[in-house]
Amino acid sequence: MSASSSSKPLVRRVYSRVEMNVVQSARIFAHVAAAHQPGATVEEHLVATRDGRPVDLQEIQAPNRGRLHKLVCPPGRVVLEYSATVTGLADPIPVDPFDEALYLRPSRYAESDELLAKAYEEFSGLSSPRAILDTVTAWVWSHLKYVPGSSGPTDGASQTMLHREGVCRDYAHLTTALLRALDVPARVVGVYAPGISPMDFHAVCEALVDGQWVIVDTSRLGPRQSMLRMTTGRDAADTAFLSTYGGYVELESIEIRAIVDGGLPVDDHQGIVALR
């Protein structure tokens, strides 16, 4: 794994626009803003409108520096637009003493308990967390096929293991579940990911190895070094970019852009990378 040799700081520019039709008044929770980036310089703009007029947004602090934004909307056309320029790298997220217990547990879409037998069948004999990480991530990448539209919103790691195809969230869920089944704490992270195609909100796995959180992207769609954290949790139930409650909302369109000034880093997906 290698990155650009330039001494200039990494500059990431991200943009998202989400358009919705609120048919019945609803509470909307959005995870579209970058997580807090202590140590980096951030210029950003977030605005929500309904029928062209500004709507109040409530920012709620989420775990691992995440920022959830809540808006309460009566019927109308709602647009949520976010842009940010992030210069430099954020300080690493410290390991919380509770992380080990929390991220070893099975969860809604990363059902590690249902994959115990398969994990031990495929990966028996591995002892160190680093060896487990390297072997599991290589296995998921080589055994899954990236097929847009092949999975549904309620599919979890067990279904992905069965069908051997999916999209980024399926790769992340299966990797997370297998690592947990082998006693390596793991979680799912929603990111902006320069270089991926098709461009979209992206999901990856983060594993606790040798006292630090490291990122793996078993879909290998883009370089890890330039990914920008949005939201972190047990699985997609915690990291969905949009959730609506108490009404009816139609998602009309999503536009996402993520670029790096001066060209993308080079990543062979073999080494250790921390998400910064």
| Residue 174 identity (one-letter amino acid) | L
Could you read off the pLDDT of 48-92 as tens digits, one per residue?
999 999 999 999 999 999 999 999 999 999 999 999 999 999 999
In a domain, 266, yes or no: no
Q: What is the CATH number of the domain that holds 48?
A: 2.60.40.2250
- Mean pLDDT across the stretch 231-255? 95
Q: What share of the chain has pLDDT > 90, as a percent?
A: 92
Domain that holds residue 117: 99-239
The answer to whether 184 touches 138, Cβ cutoff 8 Å, is no
Could you read off the pLDDT of 32-48 as tens digits, one per residue?
999 999 999 999 999 99
Number of domains forming the structure of the chain: 2
Task: Assess whether 233 and 246 both reside in one domain.
Answer: no
Q: Helices 116-123 and 129-143: crossing angle, nearest 10°?
A: 100
